[in-house]
Structure 1
Amino acid sequence: MLQPSWYALLERLDPLFAAMMRVGGHPLLVGGAVRDLLLGLTPTDIDIEVYGVDGQTLAAALAPFGRVNVVGRSFGVLKMRLDEYEVDVALPSRRHPLPDEETGALPDYDPSLTPREALARRDFTINALALTPSGDLIDYFGGRADLEARVLRHTSEAFGDDPLRVLRAMQFAARFAMRLAPETAALCRTLLSQAAGLPPDRIWREWQKWALLGVFPSAGLRALDESGWLALYPELAALQGCPQHPRYHPEGDVWTHTLHVCDAAVRIADRDALDGHERLTLIVAALCHDLGKPPTTVIDDDGIPRSIGHSEAGVSLTQTFLVRIGAPHWIERRVTPLVREHLAHLNVQPTPRVVRRLAHRLAPATLQQWERLVEADASGRPPCPPDRPAAAFLAVAEAEGAAMSRPAPLVRGRDLIAAGVAPGPRLGALLRRAYEAQLDGVFSTAEEGVTWVLQTDEV
């Protein structure tokens, strides 16, 4: 039984459907929009598949609705906007188009295909659903039952046409709290050898969705493990079975801890209404924060695991991992200092000097981002309750104006030049000394800083 919201969307699309049918087409709302409607979510991207008509005729029928962009050479996909919706209108194909494929690599479209043949080419049964313009649900492959059971099941053997679909499984599992069907996990394992040919930008797109859209990123990581593709990321695979101090980590090994930390990071991101960049930074940092534990963990004489130096050891492993997933450079620049400093609050009082120096070391990440990571780390240890052990550091940082960036230098080059220091290497050295002194709280104004520099300069 369709919900009223379904009909509301179909009513919005009715003029498009009518135009397509007037030229002999048989349109269906397909894919993610139908899945989202079944989940009670509001679709933003609309995919319509049209049978029984060629692309040029279809383009002409849609022209009165505004600008229509043709993708490829065969009029196989028509992109347009209808009110707040981005709409893709496509002809059925014998090979489902890959996201952002090169124009010349688009598949051959075949308007004579039946809906069952075309929908069988889609990745998962939950994405092989369709709605008719009158609101009838088409579900040839049991997608609705799989959605209700939270099972990701491949639609057909055509799943193997694109090995990236394994990483799509990861991000779908994270978004909808799903698990892989055993037969789909087995099929994914057969595609492992093809992973090396995937372009980094496509790999990153799926990891990005895992972080940005995932509600339970732990479910995505479990799906990655079930698929066998965790082996592609040895930095993550090494977390499995790596022991931790049972007093501080009653939840288990580092892998289990990391799953909980990632989920905690999502809760924090939702609470603080983080934008895309902030959310990515936090959740990727949560994933990477303990990568240094496996190579540094030793068992002491009392049988207790110790991971001394794991924060520093995690920096290079984080860099390597981020290259593997195709992450942009700005992510690496922010995440690595967060990983390196994620224990900086331990056994230290949050004095202004300590906080200023920490903000400086974290740049271009911020102390606010760091405090969220520390909270996620402390909150990923069930049954221990959530905690914010670095909240006092953030309060001092806010008072010092250092929560969102490292402190700006009080003494500038122009100040020293005006005081008689000539431009050149000596000027740069004095500015560096002045900034270090500022971080230590030696002075608090530009005037005091210039005076300090002139008094302590050894000519």
Structure 2
Amino acid sequence: MRGSALHRCPGPADPVGWLRLPQAAQTLLAALSEVGRPLVVGGTVRDALLREVGRSVPDVGPPDVDVELHGAGGPEAVATVLRATGAVVVLAGATFPVCKVVLDGTHLDVAVVPGPVPDDDALHAAVASSARQRDVTLNAVAWDAVRNELLDAVGGIDDARAGVLRHASVRFGDDPLRVLRLVRFVARYGCTVHPDTIALARTLSDRWDSVAHERLWPELRRLTEGDEQSAALAVLHATDWERHLPELAAVRDVPQDPVWHPEGPVHVHAGLAADAAARACRAAGVTPARRVVVVLAALLHDVGKAGDGTQRVVGEDGSVRIRSLGHEVSGALAATALLRRLGAPRAVVQEVAVLVREHMVAHSTTGAPPSVPAARRLLRRLGGSLDTAEAWALVCEADSQGRGPAASRSPAWAWLEVIAGDQVAGRRERLVTGRDLLDAGLEPGPSFRALLAEAADAQDDGVFDDVSAARHWLAARLAERAADPD
């Protein structure tokens, strides 16, 4: 690592605009400046540095502002000052007290550093010590709100200019989860990772089991915030952390038919598809909650091609084709297993699995739009939700765009147009229900469920389209069953 001599440089001419501080954050910083030396640290400064050098910084919602407050006395006194602004303040932490502050929807975490008001030398020494405890150098630059100075002890400003993610010190290894955070930063900012940091991360791979299970899903969820998914996957592999996601690791270097996939093996396609899904979600203004589902489904849509999911088929002329029959079904099972182990919410797991299972349907028609019955059946398999149908179309489009030189527009959009029409989405209500079967004297059981499924198929196929016709159909089917109980 480089030395830790503190580098000081003048702050920006318009620090509020440079940092993009909300008005509430400015109010709180002004109050803190009256009682101590507040330093803005972490993501707010990092993002400003990256924007300054022209890097794209995705907008993922209102920023949380992290502050180190020096020389202000105890946390109770600080909380009193903050509450005087109208903010809601909750004290947290015993060894390292933090005031968690909310004002007008803006969140601040104020770490109260014990001790008297420091002189410049003491403050700078504290900044250097704090910087070495952070994960990467980009997160270790502080902005002094009183002096309008940038304080950098570990070279974070130079790394921002170079677009490099580098560990702030060997203390990076204190928390192995920082490797996944590193991968997330790659996805979000498209930065490269310094080789020394890759090497350090590899030494932490065996400590996967030491990470509390409940901490895994938040990192994976936030990984989907970034548009550079394939770059993040490359770092996950380079750091040897990919092996802890075995369903994903299993598709690395699995071949694909070059006619359909000239981009290369499955892991390349998965990364390109996830990139396309992320960009499409950004362009369409998809909400963060929906983006998680779409990006994960695009990333995992072909995990069923691992192992026996891919076969080489030799033709009579000796030509070799690569096929992956049924990979959408096995892929749904693999995606479910992976996401459950990572602690994903049940609703996310179920929807991603459905999207993976159905992603090949769009390729069943070429040219002509799908029939209304086919669209009805697909919508039913998608759970009857138009939101899920829209997510499905985005995943299918990402699949089509993730094929390198063979990229094309997905036929899923023609399906979605039919699904969203009056004949499909406008007639989603089931006309034969379980109540109808109970009223007819049937007992719940396998035959009960089979009859409901048959009724749903009949409705989707247009055999009946209103309640009266549905009742006639049910009466006829019950009469047939009575005449032939076997």
TM-score band, normalised by the shorter chain? Answer: 0.7 to 0.9
Helix, strand or coil at the partner of 2:463? coil
Structure 2 partner of 1:56: 76
Helix, strand or coil at the partner of 1:345? helix
Quick one: structure 1 residues 321 and 364, their matched pair in 2 at CA, closer, same or farther if it must change by over 3 Å?
farther
Alpha-carbon distance in structure 2 between the residues aligned to 1:143 and 1:403: 53
Stretch moving more, 266-275 or 340-349: 340-349
Residue 173 of structure 2 is aligned to residue 160 of structure 1: yes
Deviation of 1:91 (Å): 2.7
CA RMSD, Structure 1 to Structure 2 (Å): 2.7
**Residue identity matched to 2:395:** L
Alpha-carbon distance in structure 1 between the residues aligned to 2:109 and 2:425: 43
Q: Is residue 127–residue 153 contact of structure 2 (8 Å, CA) maintained in 1?
A: no
For structure 1, list consecutive stretches of 5 or more residues without a partner in the other structure: 94-109
Superposed, 1:21-420 pairs within 5 Å as 21-23=33-35, 25-40=36-51, 44-53=63-72, 54-65=74-85, 66-73=87-94, 76-92=97-113, 114-133=126-145, 134-211=147-224, 213-295=225-307, 296-301=309-314, 302-348=319-365, 350-363=370-383, 366-400=388-422, 402=424, 407-412=428-433
**Residue identity matched to 2:44:** A
Stretch moving more, 128-137 or 155-164: 128-137
Tell me the alpha carbon deviations over residues 8-46 of structure 1, each in whole angstroms, 9 at most, x when there is no partner.
Answer: 7398655544543443x2211111011122233676211
Q: What percentage of aligned pairs have identical amino acids?
A: 37
Q: Is residue 378–residue 387 contact of structure 1 (8 Å, CA) maintained in 2?
A: yes
**Residue identity matched to 2:338:** F
Quick one: structure 1 residues 150 and 111, their matched pair in 2 at CA, closer, same or farther if it must change by over 3 Å?
closer
Alpha-carbon distance in structure 2 between the residues aligned to 1:385 and 1:310: 20
Deviation of 1:220 (Å): 1.6
Q: Is residue 263–residue 269 contact of structure 2 (8 Å, CA) maintained in 1?
A: yes
Tell me the alpha carbon deviations over residues 413-459 of structure 1, each in whole angstroms, 9 at most, x when there is no partner.
Answer: 55677xx7246448766544322311222111111111111123222
Quick one: structure 1 residues 340 and 29, their matched pair in 2 at CA, closer, same or farther if it must change by over 3 Å?
same
Deviation of 1:194 (Å): 1.2
Alpha-carbon distance in structure 1 between the residues aligned to 2:400 and 2:326: 18
Deviation of 1:238 (Å): 1.8
Deviation of 1:260 (Å): 0.5
Helix, strand or coil at the partner of 1:34? helix
For structure 2, list consecutive stretches of 5 or more residues without a partner in the other structure: 1-10, 52-56, 115-121
Helix, strand or coil at the partner of 2:430? coil
Helix, strand or coil at the partner of 1:304? strand
Quick one: structure 1 residues 182 and 353, their matched pair in 2 at CA, closer, same or farther if it must change by over 3 Å?
same
Helix, strand or coil at the partner of 1:411? coil
Residue 446 of structure 2 is aligned to residue 436 of structure 1: no
Deviation of 1:111 (Å): 9.5
Alpha-carbon distance in structure 1 between the residues aligned to 2:263 and 2:400: 12
Stretch moving more, 287-296 or 10-19: 10-19
TM-score by length of 1: 0.88
Structure 1 partner of 2:8: none
Tell me the alpha carbon deviations over residues 171-208 of structure 1, each in whole angstroms, 9 at most, x when there is no partner.
Answer: 11101012211000111111111111212221110110
**Residue identity matched to 1:363:** G
Helix, strand or coil at the partner of 2:406? coil
Alpha-carbon distance in structure 1 between the residues aligned to 2:13 and 2:360: 49
Stretch moving more, 195-204 or 341-350: 341-350
Q: Is residue 6–residue 135 contact of structure 1 (8 Å, CA) maintained in 2?
A: no
Quick one: structure 1 residues 12 and 424, their matched pair in 2 at CA, closer, same or farther if it must change by over 3 Å?
closer
